[in-house]
């Protein structure tokens, strides 16, 4: 054990921050015993500080740079008789106007029908940006990669494409077929409009078994991730606050 | 009430206490653990090693305080590697709670290598819009990020003079606590052919293996364990002292063992109880 | 009120973005860029909308002196501390650099609170593992077995003999069956995403507009 009894100095500027962070950390951990006023205090503080920070960032990183600054530049350009200034003025104002529609149900209920335009714009644009890349990267590439893996186990097949590397290992063919069966059976399991009987039932059953291995792996990785979060907080308390570890 | 009934109804606070003890003791008694470097982490390290000196790398810093324990050690190790190689770094974020975390870390690591903000690295800050931001960087990054996180205009930043889109980056690194890896695979890699390496949290990393297998990702680092593996590779290549990630591995291992023991105990109790109740049910049915 | 206007907006915005991906045509690409620029500004309002709803909730609690109303004062205190240091104590004007106290609040209040809040999950996952994860069926047994092998293989604490191959077994589980199952899910999700996106663009999916007008 390495004891280094240098508890963070509460009278130094850095030390005050460490002590406040430590008290807030313990406040959250107190919930593990039972719900209490200290936990409620830190919980509400977290919500408030988090919300405030988001507004600050949205202002500085988006409104200030993508609205205020172009507006200033546009007005200056108009003053100098440059017609390109008009787009720099009109576009940010129009975007802010559409964005403000989102608040109308609260601030101007009579005009709440305008909110639909804002939602329609957001959802339409977001949906449109997804279509092409999803087809390419989530469908075509994934299917072709599954089949390429089988092709890679044959030297004649692999030679036909520069992107496929021949893998001669005996396990490669087993793994490639396992993946193909896993993907196909997994998809069949989710095909609920087809009755799962006969060969379909066997495929769906195989699919769910392979899916369960995947979910188990995810659970193991999730445990790993969550435990990491706890280790970090305890390291903070032991190292930065109490100085119990050198 | 027999022992299995008692164990099944144990107050969960005892379990919490066991978890605390199981983590505190290894941290107080640090012993090294032989870390096995996985292939996805090795691939990520090697891809970053292949970035030529003087070229540009885009880092998408997509995690906030809730996930910083899992991703910050990887972020730091990667920054060390990139600064060692004299690679220019442009940082953006799709998460509103991330800019200050990115800024603090960049300042901390860059001063160790005498790297200047605006010349060797820049933090362009946050932009809302997820997919659309990632897509927009493929045409003109100056249009979407007209200023950096501190409000300095991008045309006045020396590093950004010759950087307009993904073609000007050798590599894109996504440090992701959510599903931003999907956005970068779909938009940056799919539409613009950018090379991608990702670091993800434990919850998400399993979902990105199909991308790794299909070479849409050229490397994948997972949570604190991945960070410890990365620190081991950095120690071998650059003599960098292992940091928090490696220090936490004994505790990580013991916690995993504890949870497995909990699962086994719970199942033993379940089966013991089931065995006891089934003869009673049989006699009722007769 | 008719939904034709919003449906037309969704259609135009969506088709512009689809066209931008598939076609390399100057005028179309510049209109798509226009949509992107607008989107990024409107998204900032969407973020603030969430904060405004929170504001409204806590203000209501304070006004009606509901149970726990005093904690709403704490929420407002934290909120305004961030706003004042981030927006009003800037160097220069409103668009200047944030005051250093804003970063201090972030590092010493928001960061530890956020990190600790999420770290509580480790305890709950341990408790859930003990109480709820039972090998009731073949599927559940496979799930638990895979989970245990991945956990043991990630940080190998058990060494010697058969345990030496745990990291390889873990990596095989992640690379092959896990990858296959996630790929099947990804393809299914991709198909669903594509159909939902097209339904929104073509106006078949209208629930986001609310009401039952035409």
Q: Which residue blocks in chain A are alpha helix, DSSP H?
A: 13-29, 37-58, 69-79, 85-100, 104-107, 115-133, 141-151, 155-159, 170-189, 199-235
Domain that holds residue A237: 139-241
Confidence of residue A1 (pLDDT cuts 50, 70, 90): very low
* Mean residue pLDDT across chain A: 90
Instruction: State residue C179's pLDDT score.
Output: 97
Instruction: State whether B121 and B169 are in the same domain.
Output: yes
Element (H, E) at B234: helix B223-238
Neighbours of A139 (CB within 10 A): 16
Query: Within a domain: residue A62?
Result: yes
Confidence of residue A127 (pLDDT cuts 50, 70, 90): very high
Q: How many domains, chain B?
A: 2
d(CA B175, CA B77): 12
Closest CA to B167 of B146, B142, B130, B138: B138
Instruction: State residue C1's pLDDT score.
Output: 56
Residues 6 or more apart whose CB falls under 8 angstroms from that of B5 comprise B273
Check CB contact of A205 with chain C, cutoff 8 Å.
Answer: no
Q: Among all residues of chain C, which has the CA nearest to that of A107?
A: C52
- Residues A61-98: pLDDT tens digits? 999 999 999 999 999 999 999 888 898 899 999 999 99
Q: Give the whole-number percent of chain A exceeding pLDDT 70.
A: 96
Instruction: State residue A155's pLDDT score.
Output: 87
Residues 6 or more apart whose CB falls under 8 angstroms from that of B191 comprise A132, A133, A136, B135, B138, C21
Structural contact between residues A121 and C7, judged by C-beta atoms closer than 8 angstroms: no
Distance between first and last Cα of chain C: 8
From the candidates A35, A132, A227, which should be mutated to test the interface with B, based on the most B CB atoms within 10 A?
A227
Q: Which residues in B lie closer than 8 A to residue C179 (C-beta atoms)?
A: 209-210, 212-213
Minimum-distance CB partner of B260 among C151, C167, C182: C151
Instruction: State whether B240 and B254 are in the same domain.
Output: no
Lowest mean pLDDT among A67-76, A164-173, C68-77, C108-117: A164-173
d(CA C166, CA C153): 5
Give yes or no for residue C214 having a pLDDT over 50. no
d(CA A15, CA A3): 19
Instruction: State whether A83 and A178 are in the same domain.
Output: no
Closest CA to B247 of B68, B80, B26, B75: B26
Under an 8 A CB cutoff, do C33 and B136 touch?
Answer: yes
Give yes or no for residue B285 having a pLDDT over 60. no
Q: Among all residues of chain A, which has the CA nearest to that of B68?
A: A229
Q: Among all residues of chain B, which has the CA nearest to that of C155?
A: B253
- Residues B248-257: pLDDT tens digits? 899 999 999 9
Q: Name the C residues in 88-107 with CB < 8 Å from any A CB.
A: 94-95, 98, 102, 104-107
From the candidates C134, C171, C190, C212, which should be mutated to test the interface with A, based on the most A CB atoms within 10 A?
C190
Instruction: State whether B8 and B58 are in the same domain.
Output: no
Minimum-distance CB partner of A231 among B23, B96, B100: B23
- Residues A97-118: pLDDT tens digits? 999 999 888 888 888 889 999 9
Instruction: State whether B170 and B230 are in the same domain.
Output: yes
Query: Within a domain: residue A192?
Result: yes
Quote the tokens at residue A65.
């740079």
Confidence of residue A3 (pLDDT cuts 50, 70, 90): very low
Domain that holds residue B258: 3-30+249-285
Under an 8 A CB cutoff, do B255 and C122 touch?
Answer: yes
Closest CA to B76 of B217, B212, B244, B219: B244
Q: Which residues in C lie closer than 8 A to residue A220 (C-beta atoms)?
A: 146-151, 154
Instruction: State whether A105 and A149 are in the same domain.
Output: no
Give yes or no for residue B3 having a pLDDT over 90. no
Average pLDDT for A182-206: 90
Backbone angles phi, psi at B171, to 5 degrees: -155, 150
Structural contact between residues A59 and A44, judged by C-beta atoms closer than 8 angstroms: no
Lowest mean pLDDT among A167-171, C92-96, C98-102: C92-96
d(CA C171, CA A56): 43
Structural contact between residues A126 and C43, judged by C-beta atoms closer than 8 angstroms: no
Q: Which residues in B lie closer than 8 A to residue A233 (C-beta atoms)?
A: 69
- Residues B21-32: pLDDT tens digits? 999 999 988 777
Give yes or no for residue B43 having a pLDDT over 50. yes
Domain ranges of chain C: 134-214
Put simply, whether the predicted model's pTM sits higher than 0.80 gets the answer yes
Quote the tokens at residue C209.
């507009």
| Shortest Cα distance, chain B CAs vs residue A34, angstroms | 9
A46 Cα distance to chain centroid: 20
Instruction: State residue A2's pLDDT score.
Output: 43
Q: Give the whole-number percent of chain B exceeding pLDDT 70.
A: 96
- A25-41 burial, b at 16+ Cβ within 10 Å, e below that, comes to bbbbbebbeeeeeebbe
* Mean residue pLDDT across chain B: 92
DSSP-assigned letter for residue B147: B
Give yes or no for residue B159 having a pLDDT over 50. yes
- Residues A193-203: pLDDT tens digits? 888 888 899 99
- Residues B216-253: pLDDT tens digits? 999 999 989 999 999 999 999 999 888 888 888 999 99
CA angle B109, B110, B111 (to 5 degrees): 95
Residues 6 or more apart whose CB falls under 8 angstroms from that of A25 comprise A233, A236, A237, C112, C116
Helix axes A199-235, A170-189, angle to 10 degrees: 100
Write the CATH number for B175.
3.40.50.720
Give yes or no for residue C213 having a pLDDT over 60. no
Average pLDDT for A40-60: 94
Instruction: State whether B93 and B140 are in the same domain.
Output: yes
Confidence of residue A236 (pLDDT cuts 50, 70, 90): very high
d(CA B103, CA B90): 12
Check CB contact of A32 with chain C, cutoff 8 Å.
Answer: yes
Domain stops at, among A118, A153, A187:
A118
Average pLDDT for A156-171: 84
Query: Within a domain: residue A161?
Result: yes
Check CB contact of A238 with chain C, cutoff 8 Å.
Answer: no
From the candidates B30, B31, B96, B243, which should be mutated to test the interface with A, based on the most A CB atoms within 10 A?
B96
Average pLDDT for B62-74: 95
Minimum-distance CB partner of A244 among B28, B97, B191: B28
Q: Which residues in B lie closer than 8 A to residue A225 (C-beta atoms)?
A: 70, 201-203, 205, 223-224
Residue B113: Cβ-neighbour burial (10 angstroms; 0-12, 13-18, 19+): middle
Instruction: State residue B20's pLDDT score.
Output: 94
Instruction: State whether B267 and B149 are in the same domain.
Output: no
Instruction: State whether B198 and B280 are in the same domain.
Output: no
Q: Among all residues of chain A, which has the CA nearest to that of C68?
A: A40
Q: Name the C residues in 6-65 with CB < 8 Å from any A CB.
A: 6-7, 9-18, 21-22, 34-52, 54-56
Q: Among all residues of chain A, which has the CA nearest to that of C202?
A: A124
Q: Give the whole-number percent of chain C exceeding pLDDT 90.
A: 62
Residues 6 or more apart whose CB falls under 8 angstroms from that of A154 comprise A166
Minimum-distance CB partner of B128 among C40, C119, C174: C40
Confidence of residue A10 (pLDDT cuts 50, 70, 90): confident
d(CA A72, CA B144): 17
Quote the tokens at residue B136.
């927009």
Structural contact between residues C188 and A129, judged by C-beta atoms closer than 8 angstroms: no
Minimum-distance CB partner of A231 among B13, B213, B224: B224
Under an 8 A CB cutoff, do C36 and B103 touch?
Answer: no
Instruction: State residue C2's pLDDT score.
Output: 77
Q: How many domains, chain A?
A: 2
d(CA B141, CA C41): 15
CA angle C68, C73, C77 (to 5 degrees): 145
| Shortest Cα distance, chain B CAs vs residue C60, angstroms | 26
Instruction: State whether B231 and B141 are in the same domain.
Output: yes
Instruction: State whether A53 and A86 are in the same domain.
Output: yes
Under an 8 A CB cutoff, do C182 and B209 touch?
Answer: yes
Under an 8 A CB cutoff, do A221 and C150 touch?
Answer: yes
Instruction: State residue B229's pLDDT score.
Output: 95
Domain stops at, among A66, A86, A118:
A118
* Mean residue pLDDT across chain C: 90
Closest CA to C110 of A17, A50, A202: A50
* All chains having 3 or more CB pairs closer than 8 angstroms to chain C: A, B
Backbone angles phi, psi at B22, to 5 degrees: -65, -25
Dmax over CA atoms of chain A, in Å, equals 78
More confident residue, A196 or B53: B53
Give yes or no for residue B112 having a pLDDT over 70. yes
Give yes or no for residue B275 having a pLDDT over 60. yes
Instruction: State residue A4's pLDDT score.
Output: 46
Instruction: State whether B169 and B259 are in the same domain.
Output: no
Dihedral sign for Cα atoms in the order C148, C149, C151, C156: positive
Per DSSP, the three-state class of B123 is strand
Distances from the Cα of B27 to the Cαs of A77, B2, B17, B102, B162, in angstroms? 62, 36, 16, 27, 47
From the candidates C177, C194, C195, C206, which should be mutated to test the interface with A, based on the most A CB atoms within 10 A?
C177
Minimum-distance CB partner of C39 among B129, B259, B265: B129
């Amino acid at each position: 054990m390495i004891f280094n009894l240098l508890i963070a100095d509460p009278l130094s500027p850095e030390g005050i921050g460490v002590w406040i962070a430590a008290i807030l950390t313990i406040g959250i951990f107190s919930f593990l015993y039972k719900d209490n006023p200290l936990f409620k205090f830190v919980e509400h503080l977290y919500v408030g500080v988090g919300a405030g920070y988001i507004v600050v960032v949205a202002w500085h990183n988006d409104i200030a740079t993508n609205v205020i600054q172009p507006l200033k530049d546009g007005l200056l350009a108009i003053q100098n008789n440059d017609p390109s200034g008009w787009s720099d003025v009109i576009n940010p104002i129009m975007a802010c106007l559409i964005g403000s529609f989102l608040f109308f149900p609260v601030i101007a209920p009579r005009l709440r029908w305008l909110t639909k335009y804002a939602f329609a714009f957001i959802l339409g644009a977001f949906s449109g940006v997804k279509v092409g890349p999803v087809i390419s990267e989530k469908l075509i590439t994934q299917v072709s990669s599954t089949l390429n893996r089988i092709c890679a186990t044959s030297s004649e097949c692999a030679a036909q494409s520069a992107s496929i590397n021949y893998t001669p290992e005996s396990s490669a063919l087993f793994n490639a077929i396992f993946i193909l069966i896993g993907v196909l059976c997994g998809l069949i399991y989710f095909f609920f409009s087809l009755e799962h009987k006969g060969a379909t039932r066997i495929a769906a059953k195989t699919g769910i078994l392979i899916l369960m291995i995947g979910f188990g792996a995810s659970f193991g990785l999730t445990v790993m991730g969550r435990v990491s979060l706890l280790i970090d907080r305890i390291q903070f308390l032991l190292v930065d606050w109490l100085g119990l570890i050198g | 009430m027999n022992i299995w009934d008692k164990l099944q109804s144990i107050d969960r606070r005892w379990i919490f206490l066991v978890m605390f003890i199981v983590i505190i003791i290894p941290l107080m008694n640090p012993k090294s653990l032989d870390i096995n470097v996985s292939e996805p982490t090795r691939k990520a390290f090697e891809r970053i090693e292949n970035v030529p000196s003087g070229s540009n790398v885009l880092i998408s810093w997509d995690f906030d305080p809730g996930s910083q324990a899992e991703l910050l050690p990887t972020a730091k190790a990667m920054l060390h590697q990139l600064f060692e190689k004299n690679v220019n770094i442009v940082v953006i974020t799709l998460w509103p709670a991330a800019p200050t975390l990115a800024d603090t870390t960049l300042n901390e690591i860059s001063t160790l290598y005498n790297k200047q903000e605006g010349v060797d690295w820049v933090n362009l800050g946050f932009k809302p819009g997820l997919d659309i931001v990632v897509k927009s960087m493929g045409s003109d990054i100056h249009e979407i990020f007209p200023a950096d996180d501190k409000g300095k205009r991008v045309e006045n930043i020396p590093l950004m003079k010759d950087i307009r889109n993904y073609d000007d980056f050798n590599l894109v690194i996504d440090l992701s606590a959510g599903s931003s890896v999907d956005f970068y695979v779909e938009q940056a890699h799919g539409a613009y052919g950018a090379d991608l390496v990702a670091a993800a949290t434990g919850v998400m990393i399993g979902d990105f293996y199909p991308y790794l297998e299909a070479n849409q990702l050229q490397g994948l680092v997972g949570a604190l364990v991945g960070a410890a593996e990365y620190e081991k590779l950095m120690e071998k290549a650059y003599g960098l002292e292992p940091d928090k990630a490696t220090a936490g591995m004994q505790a990580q291992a013991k916690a995993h063992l504890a949870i497995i023991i909990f699962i086994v105990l719970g199942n033993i109790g379940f089966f013991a109880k089931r065995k006891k109740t089934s003869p009673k049910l049989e006699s009722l049915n007769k | 009120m008719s939904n034709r206007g919003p449906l037309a907006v969704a259609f135009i915005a969506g088709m512009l973005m689809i066209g931008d991906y598939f076609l390399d045509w100057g005028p179309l690409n510049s209109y798509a860029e226009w949509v992107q620029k607008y989107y990024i500004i409107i998204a900032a309002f969407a973020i603030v909308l969430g904060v405004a709803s929170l504001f409204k909730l806590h203000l209501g609690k304070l006004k009606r002196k509901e149970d726990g109303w005093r904690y709403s004062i704490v929420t407002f205190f934290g909120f305004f501390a961030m706003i004042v240091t981030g927006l009003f104590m800037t160097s220069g004007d409103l668009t200047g650099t944030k005051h250093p106290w804003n970063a201090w609040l972030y590092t010493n209040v928001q960061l530890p609170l956020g990190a600790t809040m999420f770290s509580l999950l480790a305890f709950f996952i341990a408790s859930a593992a003990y109480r709820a994860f039972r090998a009731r069926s073949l599927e559940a047994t496979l799930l638990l077995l895979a989970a245990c092998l991945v956990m043991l293989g990630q940080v190998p604490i058990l060494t010697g003999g058969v345990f030496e191959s745990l990291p390889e077994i873990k990596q095989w589980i992640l690379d092959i069956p896990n990858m296959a199952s996630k790929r099947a899910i990804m393809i299914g999700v991709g198909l669903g995403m594509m159909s939902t996106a097209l339904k929104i663009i073509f106006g078949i999916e209208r629930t986001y507009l609310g009401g039952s007008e035409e």
